[in-house]
Structure 1
Amino acid sequence: MREQSKAARLRQIVKILNHYHVVKNITQQKDPVAVRKAFEELGPTFIKVGQMMSVRTDIFTLAFTKELRNLQDDVKTDPFESVKTLVEKELELPLTEIFESFEEQPFASASIAQAHHARLKNGQPVVAKVQHPGIAAEIDLDLSLFEKAVPIANWVPESKVIDLKSILKEIRESLQNELDFQKELVLAEEFYRLNNGWKEIRVPKMEAAYSTKKVIIMELMPGTNLKELISAPDDTIAQGKTTYKELKKTVSELLIEHFMKEVFEDGFFHADPHPGNILLHLLAESEQPTPQIKSREHQGQFGEIPYKITYAKAETLRPFRLNFIDFGMMGTLNREMQVKMSNVIIAIYSKDNQRITNAVHAICKQVGPFDEEKFTDELDDFLNRYLNLPVKEIDLQKVFSQVILICHDNNLQIDDSATMLIKAFGTLEGVIEDLNPDLSLFEVIAPFAQKYFIQQLNLNDTLRETGLDYLSTLKALPKIPSHALNVLDTFAKGKGKLNLELKNQRNLLERAEAMVNRLVIGLILSALVIGSSILVQTSPKGDTLISDLGIFGYSIAALSILFLIIESLYRRYRKWKDH
């Protein structure tokens, strides 16, 4: 039965891929719309593949990755009976003992799960996210077909630019994580702890007692999809005297400020902040909360007398809330990477080429031969062309995409956490552009990065280190003349040595070795031709053995020369094709 389903699925995949010319479009990076449609038809595994491709700006063009970010996974819903069976099996209790009510018709259905409105026995309205029955087996089937197809795909010349085995492993790990709702639960609870109640941001509380690997229960969050705000006419009244244009501006600024807080304060950020994952809830007059009192304490000691100062400030929140509702894709940054990313942003903002090069190099690891001069020249060439624009016109996503491409071409691999952050930046930039086209994301985030960088500086440590450096320098100053005389004396006696270091010496040695080898082969072939000629010319009449031996030598020489000519032409062709 499984073999039959595997064969049927394989036929379906081949049919859809051929219909949309997917392989040709991906390898030539043409018609990304057709690729997106094909992936949507093929289901959750391919949608996940497309989502992962959408962050690989080192391989695919910006137009291609932008289109793949529009992948929609609105799929058919499951019958209520199968949903009920799965929930009761996971929670090990009848549905009626857990929920006061459970709506049979889901209000949303995505590739991995569908969502139902429900109410717990204590009256708490919740959302039940239930995994599609059999979805794990479907995904496993697709992945097993992928694994069998990898050796075949390697015959396609364009596939050489991608490590297919590595990509497949990444897809498998990502899908396995998404299929385990317990992992999403942990991420959601951490996001709740760090962000719920921060200004107008709200996060649903997870009901851990009723959540399993295939079912997750969370607090129901009010509001409408942020897409509705994006599509609302600017001059329409949204609330009180506020127009939708003003509301869009306010929301866009809050989204940026919150994202900067996630990145540079928490080191834990929502990696997929698209409009479908954020709800806007406009508060009615009856829902307006009283001003919140925010207090801060500062303790210290004046001489031997301890003191404590308390600051209190009334903070009035604006009459709306932004509610985050999906936590399947989160990113983390350690302190070191936070500093490095702030350096990248500040460097781009300062338009200092050398500083940008150093900052970019710091977030990468070397995965092959690296020519620093070539890397610097290529990055400088791009920066000189692009960074002449006013800061407001700098497209951060385009800058990052091109920088990643240059790094990839120079055997530098950007850290995974930084790649996830860049992907999130790209998604957020698209949302901000839709909400408030006049707002430059880059112009707003640069001051946040500068603020974080300054906060990380420890003034006492910096002054202490600087002081030690000066003291060491002062201590060494009297010895400089004697050291200089010793150096001059050494050179005067002819004992001086000069060490030179050649860049790319391994490549130079390999080329020199190849040239010597060719020279040796040429000499051997020359000797073979001369020797064969002597054998043919001096062979006694009637003695065919010596004559045949000479002709055999000619044949070996001719074949060797022909092989060398073909190899030379092939290498010239490959070099021409690569350029």
Structure 2
Amino acid sequence: MKEQSKAARLRQIVKVVNHYSVVKNITQQKNPAEVRQAFEELGPTFIKVGQMMSVRTDIFTLDFTKELRKLQDDVKTDNFESVKTLVEKELELPLTEIFERFDEQPFASASIAQAHHAQLKNGQQVVVKVQHPGIAYEIELDLSLFEKAIPIANWVPESKVIDLKSIVKEIRVSLQNELDFQKELVLAEEFYRLNNGWKEIRAPKMEPAYSTKKVIVMELMSGKNLKELINADDDKIVQGEKTYKELKKTISELLIEHFMKEVFEDGFFHADPHPGNILLQLISDEENQKEQSIKSKEHQGKFGNIPYEVTYSKNERLRPFRLNFIDFGMMGTITREMQSKMSNTIIAIYSKDTQRIANAVHAICKQVGSFDEEKFTDELDDFLNRYLNLPVKEIDLQKVFSQVVIICHDNNLQIDDSVTMLIKAFGTLEGVIEDLNPDLSLFEVVAPFAQKYFIQQLNLKNELQETGLDYLSTLKALPKIPSHALNALDTFAKGKGKLNLEVKNQRNFLERAEAMVNRLVIGLILSALVIGSSILVQTSPKGDTLISDLGIFGYSVAALSILFLVVESLYRRYRKWRER
């Protein structure tokens, strides 16, 4: 990648943006495929912008966000000499002293880096991910142009719906994180620790000794891109008597189960589970038999004063395939508290209790402006009553989440960032599941996992203790109720009672009352002006034009004022009509 000047890059951006009518398509939310093509052509910074837009379901339509989730990198590869120079500079050793073999031709190239097959001196087959030389400069160039364009973009009325300054800041932080492979290394090692060996899920082991800020080395994972399975003929036989359709069904169920495990057990999930980041490895029965895992559990306790320890093992049968996850640049985390709130939300949707859903949604948001709980609940009820009458199997969870996000945004509620990332990841996964197994109801599968997590987190002993304490407090207070009631009645009988009423939307009410009083006063003044002018005109002596002119001037002021009030009233009515 060659470094280019700001002027040349600006010309390129303007040319592509105009060619694909990007601004018009985004503001009018049409032709999302053209916007995606433009972002892919403009490179990593714009791809990141598109990825961030794909989670803003409060601003963009579902069709628009779904299209932007397809953003893929198609970047030309760098020549081997520049790659060799960068790797040797980063690792501070000649290539031949680290690797027994290093393929000159990369097997994949994305916006930030390209990947080469290689072999370490100890015989380990690895993948070397090398950052494109000059990519950091290109990204910084784009970001600086973005920051300079913010004041100009603010003149576009449609740009007011988002905070451009904070969006650019978020893009900068995200891209800087992706440019630092040491951060990806930490995330990849955590994913390996939590997921490698869980059922048929596998992850590459990282090589920290050979990894730097611009180079990362990991274990080679076998398998083919999941896209090949998606495009395979359903009726074709694979692995004995099993068809590809049956394999797709098995894989889709495993992907959902694994995602739920990541979210509700680990609190750490792969935020970009698209087919390019998952490899399917088919293995023979003999190879599969060698990898059968044994799960052991220990239980310790006391029988009287005698301690005991019991260990039991269970052979977990694995199926003859592996799902190998790669690329860990985009990961999400979710706290225990938020896990509980999310499970409550899903269970509430499953129960179709609108009040419970409203409470659960409110709990995962933070208030960023004035909030009317009654208005929020009414809007949510209107949507849910129309949508949740469908059978559970037909509920599209992604559509539900998208509409709920819009309602929250309209009511000054901002959904927690971790949940936004989760919705984005879930949307990507939903697209994969839809391609693999269109008949699968994602909601029917997800709800039991949420219920299972809710039950696991429920501490029955604590709940019983808290309930018992509540009952005891109530019983203790019961004898005092009659005396408190008599005191209250006595206070009102003596005329000492006070009743405080809170008027809802008090500020709006007072502003309207003030406007009405102002109009009444203006009306009285205009009436007095007309009457006074009439008296001046009628009683002015003949030949004295000054008094007569004053009266005419008064008429003119009154006429102009009345005309202004009529125009203002018509304009207000027009605005109300447009808002309907």
| TM-score bracket for this pair, using the shorter chain length | over 0.9
AA at the equivalent of 1:272: D
Partner of 2:201: 201
Counterpart of 1:349 in 2: which secondary structure? helix
Q: What is the one-letter code of the residue matched to 1:138?
A: E
**What is the CA-CA distance between 1:222 and the residue it aligns to?**
0.5
- Alignment map for 1:378-393 (pairs within 5 Å): 378-393=379-394
2: CA distance, partners of 1:215 / 1:540: 100
Q: Deviations over 1:544-573 (max 9, x none)?
A: 887777777666666655555555444444
2:29 corresponds to which residue? 29
Amino acid at match of 2:398: Q
Deviation readout 1:18-61 (Å, 9 max, x if unpaired): 22111111111111111111111221111111111111111111
For the Cα contact (< 8 Å) 1:202–1:324, is it kept in 2? yes
In structure 2, the residue matched to 1:275 is: 275
Inter-partner Cα distance in structure 1 for 2:557 and 2:185: 71
Shift of 1:534: 6.5
1-structure distance, mates of 2:535, 2:110: 82
How many Å separate the matches in 1 of 2:506 and 2:485?
32
Conserved in 2, the CA contact under 8 Å of 1:290 and 1:316? no
Amino acid at match of 1:87: V
Distance across 2 between alignment mates of 1:554 and 1:178: 72
Look up the equivalent residue of 1:177 and give its one-letter code.
N
Describe how 1:290-309 pairs up with structure 2 within 5 A. 290-309=291-310
Report the counterpart of residue 507 of structure 1 in structure 2: 508
Q: In structure 1, what is the Cα distance between the partners aligned to 2:334 and 2:362?
A: 17
Identity of aligned residues (%): 87
Correspondence list, 1:76-95, <5 A:
76-95=76-95
Q: How far is 1:494 from its partner?
A: 2.9
Structure-1 separation of matches of 2:540 and 2:376: 62
Corresponding position of 1:315:
316
CA deviation map 1:230-276 (0-9, x unaligned): 11112222213322122111111111111111000110111111111
Partner of 2:217: 217
State the alpha-carbon separation in 2 of the partners of residues 184 and 534 from structure 1. 87
CA contact (8 A) 2:43 2:111 kept: yes
Between 1:477-486 and 1:43-52, the stretch displaced more is 477-486
- The CA deviation at 1:503 is 1.7
What corresponds to 1:425 in structure 2?
A: 426
Residue 499 of structure 2 corresponds to residue 498 of structure 1:
yes
Change (3 A) 1:467 1:83: same
SS of equivalent to 2:324: strand
Structure 2 CA distance for aligned equivalents of residues 137 and 440 of structure 1: 45
Q: Which residue of 1 aligns with 2:187?
A: 187
SS state at 1:326 partner: coil
What CA distance in whole angstroms lies between the structure 1 residues aligned with 2:421 and 2:471?
A: 42
Moved more, 428-437 or 234-243: 234-243
Unaligned stretches of 5+ residues in structure 2: none
Which region of structure 1 is more displaced relative to structure 2, 466-475 or 289-298? 289-298
| Distance in 2 of aligned mates of 1:570 and 1:234 | 62
CA distance in 2, matches of 1:96, 1:465: 67
Q: Equivalent residues in 2 for 1:366-515 (5 A)?
A: 366-515=367-516
Moved more, 421-430 or 259-268: 421-430
The aligned counterpart of 2:138 is: 138
2:27 alignment partner, SS class: helix
SS at match of 2:238: strand
* Deviation sequence 1:431-465 (CA, Å, 0-9, x none): 11111122111101111100111111111111111
CA distances 1:252-304 after superposition (whole Å, capped 9, x unpaired) = 11111111110001101111111111001111345222532211011112332
Q: How many residues align?
A: 578
User: 1:526: how far off?
Assistant: 5.1
Secondary structure in structure 2 of the residue aligned to 1:126: strand
Give me the whole-angstrom Cα distance separating, in 2, the residues matched to 1:177 and 1:564: 58
How big is each residue's C-alpha offset from its partner over 1:162-202, in whole Å with a ceiling of 9 and x where there is no partner? 22222222212211111111111111111111111111111
Residues in 2 aligned to 1:305 and 1:568: alpha-carbon distance in whole angstroms? 89
Counterpart residue number, 2:261: 261
The C-alpha deviation readout for 1:442-494, integer Å capped at 9, x for no partner, is 10111110011111111111111111111111111111222222222233333
CA displacement, residues 68-91 of structure 1 (integer Å, 9 cap, x when unaligned): 111121111111111112212222
Q: 1:54 corresponds to which letter in structure 2?
A: S
Cα gap change, 1:538/1:332 in structure 2, threshold over 3 Å: closer, same or farther? Answer: farther
Q: Which sits farther off after the overlay, 174-183 or 339-348?
A: 174-183
RMSD, matched Cα: 2.4
State how far apart, in whole Å, the 1-side matches of 2:4 and 2:80 are.
Answer: 28
Aligned equivalent of 2:123? 123
Distance 1:327 1:539 in 2: 92
3-state SS in 2 of match to 1:306:
strand
8 Å Cα contact 1:20/1:34 also seen in 2: yes
Contact 2:3 2:134 in 1 (8 A): no
SS in 2 for 1:239: coil
**Alignment TM-score, normalising by the size of structure 1:** 0.94
Q: How does 1:534-573 map to 2 (within 5 A)?
A: 564-573=565-574
Aligned-pair distance for 1:313? 1.1
The residue aligned with 2:229 is: 229
In structure 2, what is the Cα distance between the partners aligned to 1:576 and 1:546? 46
